[in-house]
Amino acid sequence: MTGKFYIIGVGPGDPELMTQKAARLLKECRVICVPKGSKAGKSVALSIVKQVVSMENKEILEIHFPMEKVKMDDKQSPMLKKAWLAAAGTVIEKLAKGDDLAFPTLGDPTFYSTAFHLAGVLPEVLPAGSKDVSVVVVPGVTSVSASAAAAGMPLCLGDERVAVLPATYEKERLLEALSSFDTVVLMKVHNVLDKIILMLKNLGLLNTSIIIEKAGMSGERVIKASNAHKEKLHYFSTMIVRKKL
Amino acid sequence: MTGKFYIIGVGPGDPELMTQKAARLLKECRVICVPKGSKAGKSVALSIVKQVVSMENKEILEIHFPMEKVKMDDKQSPMLKKAWLAAAGTVIEKLAKGDDLAFPTLGDPTFYSTAFHLAGVLPEVLPAGSKDVSVVVVPGVTSVSASAAAAGMPLCLGDERVAVLPATYEKERLLEALSSFDTVVLMKVHNVLDKIILMLKNLGLLNTSIIIEKAGMSGERVIKASNAHKEKLHYFSTMIVRKKL
């Protein structure tokens, strides 16, 4: 394989929050991969890229990504595995021709990006005689950092501890995290807002909790959790529960 | 106050991992604040800035930061509070003259940056008649994201949960996090490496644990925890314990 596969974090939304490295590599790569029939998060990544990098002379390679919800053991599901292998085959074909491929991801790739499912199966579809495939991960600004920055608050100071987990987790697990950690970041809070607000109220944590909608994007809003019970939140909403304000 | 106080994340070390926003604001601000007699982390921030922004026509404002270890309740210590108030006074003096001040911090400011101690006391030293002080936080790439990227691994996928805590925490707290979370990031691992390695060995987690030394900096190294028992690690070392590799 002569080409390299770059998984590139483009930051939370504001094109200026893209790193200089991401901008350079996205300019240099001839082929930009995007998921076909992608959900919100993925097409947003491309729209951020377009604000920084000219698409002239670029090839946009649409890859079919499995649409099923990705769970921890999804790689074991034969149908999903087959879909990932097919996607990997498309990427390997380009790399074999010497093209460098860039896969832009919203925020930071190491943080909940499905790009790793794809990267994980690339070695399995190498043509006979090829030794290895070069995958380079370029970190970016996470929506969590952008959320805390928008609220003008630290996530952690000194020797504090931080937990990040989906707000959709079972109640006992949420309570466990809320009791043990100085700061708890709840992702995907939009669908379970009422439940979470009630829980925080019971724990006496409602007044130190903040919701950031579309952090680092246009339309960004910082909302006190105590005022949020009637809000209809966007999919890109994060809650920060910080015990010490 | 006519000037603004910018707390700017400059990323983990590689100047290219600075965001375009950070680079622009650091160019625009006439005064760059750095801690006087600073420890490693803070002077590194300035050295990163210097690789991207010309220091010609800039004023470097050295601020005396309390050197004592910052703990959660430090703001309550009268001596520390006095030192922070003095530092805040120096900043406010400049802001009152209409200067914009930039305070560069290594990585991401919301993630363990003492800049928030300073920002927190600015409102207390406003001159009579001044209404408010404008603090803007610009997020950056954390050393945690850079560490996972260097190791070519995700921190989390799907609905996984991540905990970040200092490796120096008491054993019970570490065990609690290691048992509950899919990924545990241990900061400041260099001084307690042997203890942590023994703990991971007993938990059967040693083979899925990785240490990243100087992530995103020159001299970056990725070390398997199972090979690390005789290593002398740099202060900038992070361990990622990920149960599922």
Contact B92/B99 with Cβ under 8 angstroms? Answer: no
Q: How much is the average pLDDT of B75-97?
A: 85
| DSSP β-ladder status, A101-105 and A31-36 | parallel
3-state helix, strand, coil in chain B (%, to 5): 40, 25, 40
pLDDT class of B162 with cuts at 50, 70, 90:
very high
Structural tokens at position A179 = 């009791």
Mean pLDDT of B120-139: 90
The answer to whether residues A67 and A61 touch, using CB atoms and an 8 Å cutoff, is no
Mutate to test the interface with B, among A16, A19, A143 (most CBs of B within 10 A): A19
CB B12 within 8 A of CB B39: no
A1 pLDDT band, cuts 50/70/90, is low
Task: Tell me how far apart the alpha carbons of residues A134 and A132 are, in angstroms, rounded to a whole number.
Answer: 7
Contact across the interface for B110 and A149, Cβ inside 8 Å:
yes
A39 touches chain B (CB under 8 A): no
Which has the minimum average pLDDT: A84-88, A180-184, B142-146, B219-223? A84-88
Q: To 5 degrees, how large is the angle CA B50–CA B52–CA B57? A: 60
Do A80 and A74 touch, CB atoms closer than 8 A?
yes
Distance CA A140, CA A147 (A): 14
- pLDDT for A73 beyond 70: no
**Residues A182, A160: Cα–Cα separation, whole Å:** 6
Q: Given this model, what pLDDT does residue A96 score?
A: 92
Helix (H, G, I), strand (E, B) or coil at B210: strand
Q: What is the chain A residue with the closest CA to B149? A: A137
Query: In this structure, are strands B221-224 and B209-213 parallel, antiparallel, or unpaired?
Result: antiparallel
* Nearest-angstrom CA–CA distance, B205 and B225: 9
Q: Give the tens place of pLDDT for each residue, B34-83.
A: 987 655 555 789 999 999 999 999 999 988 877 655 554 545 577 778 88
Torsion sign, CA atoms B87, B122, B51, B66: positive
d(CA B89, CA A82): 63
State pLDDT tens for residues A222-234.
999 999 988 899 9
Instruction: Tell me what pLDDT residue A72 has.
Output: 42
- The H or E element containing residue A23 is helix A20-28
Distance CA A41, CA A111 (A): 13
The structure tokens 């246009």 sit at A218
pTM of structure:
0.94
| One-letter amino acid for residue A14 of the chain | D
Asked if B117's CB is within 8 angstroms of A157's CB, the reply is: yes
Q: How far does the CA of residue B55 sit from the closest CA of chain A (Å)?
A: 19
Mean predicted confidence (pLDDT) in B80-109: 92
Region A71-87 average pLDDT: 71
From A40-44, A225-229, A236-240, B93-97, the region with the lowest mean pLDDT: A40-44
Q: What pLDDT was estimated at residue B39? A: 55
For tokens 């394989």, what's the residue?
Answer: A1
User: Are A22 and A140 within 8 A, CB to CB?
Assistant: yes
A107 neighbourhood in chain B, CB within 8 Å:
none
Instruction: Compute the average pLDDT of residues A171-184.
Output: 95
Whole-number pLDDT of residue B183: 98
Q: Are strands A59-64 and A183-187 parallel, antiparallel or unpaired?
A: unpaired
Could you tell me the domains of chain B? Answer: 4-138 (3.40.1010.10), 143-242 (3.30.950.10)
- Which member of A20, A72, A137 has the closest CB to residue B149? A137
pLDDT of A162 over the 80 cut: yes
Q: Is the pLDDT of residue A84 over 90?
A: no
| Closest CB to B17 among A19, A160, A163 | A19
Asked if B141 is an interface residue toward chain A (Cβ–Cβ < 8 A), one would say yes
pLDDT of B185 strictly over 60: yes
| Contacts across the A-B interface (CB distance below 8 Å) | 198
Q: How would residue B119 be classed by pLDDT, with cut points 50, 70 and 90? A: very high
Give the residue ranges of DSSP H helices in A153-217.
171-180, 193-203
Contact assessment for residue B193 and residue B228, using Cβ atoms and an 8 Å cutoff = yes
User: Per-residue pLDDT averaged across A165-174, rounded?
Assistant: 94
**What are the φ and ψ backbone dihedral angles of B181, each rounded to 5 degrees?**
-105, 150
Tell me what pLDDT residue B72 has: 42
B11, B19, B161 ranked by CB distance to A163: nearest: B161
Bridge pairing between strands A101-105 and B183-187: unpaired
- H helical segments located in A97-227: 115-121, 143-151, 171-180, 193-203
Chain A residues within 8 A of B212 when measuring between CB atoms: none
Cβ–Cβ < 8 Å for A224, A205: no
CB contact under 8 A, B148 and A159: no
Helix (H, G, I), strand (E, B) or coil at B208: helix
Q: Using the predicted structure, report yes or no on whether residue A71 has a pLDDT greater than 70.
A: no
* Residue A150: predicted pLDDT: 97
The pLDDT-based confidence of B245 (bands split at 50, 70, 90) is low
What pLDDT is recorded for position A114?
86
CB contact under 8 A, A110 and B154: yes
Beta bridge partners of B11: B107
User: Which residues between 151 and 210 in chain A have a beta carbon less than 8 angstroms from any beta carbon of chain B?
Assistant: 152-166, 168-169, 173, 176-177, 180-182
Provide mean pLDDT across the span B122-129: 87
Task: Quote the ipTM score.
Answer: 0.94
Count of Cβ atoms closer than 10 Å to residue B239 Cβ: 25
Helix (H, G, I), strand (E, B), or coil: what is residue A32? Answer: strand
Which range has the worst mean pLDDT, A35-39, B59-63, B140-144, B207-211? A35-39
- SS3 state of residue A152: coil
Mean confidence (pLDDT) of chain B: 90
Q: How confident is the model at residue A130 (pLDDT cuts 50, 70, 90)?
A: confident
Q: Do B72 and A173 touch (CB under 8 A)?
A: no
Distance (Å, whole) CA B161 – CA B181: 6
End-to-end CA distance of chain B: 51
Name the pLDDT band for A172 (thresholds 50, 70, 90).
very high
Contact assessment for residue A165 and residue A187, using Cβ atoms and an 8 Å cutoff: yes
Percentage with pLDDT > 90 across chain B: 74
Mean pLDDT, rounded, of chain A? 90
Of B11, B203, B241, B168, the closest CA to residue A19 belongs to B11
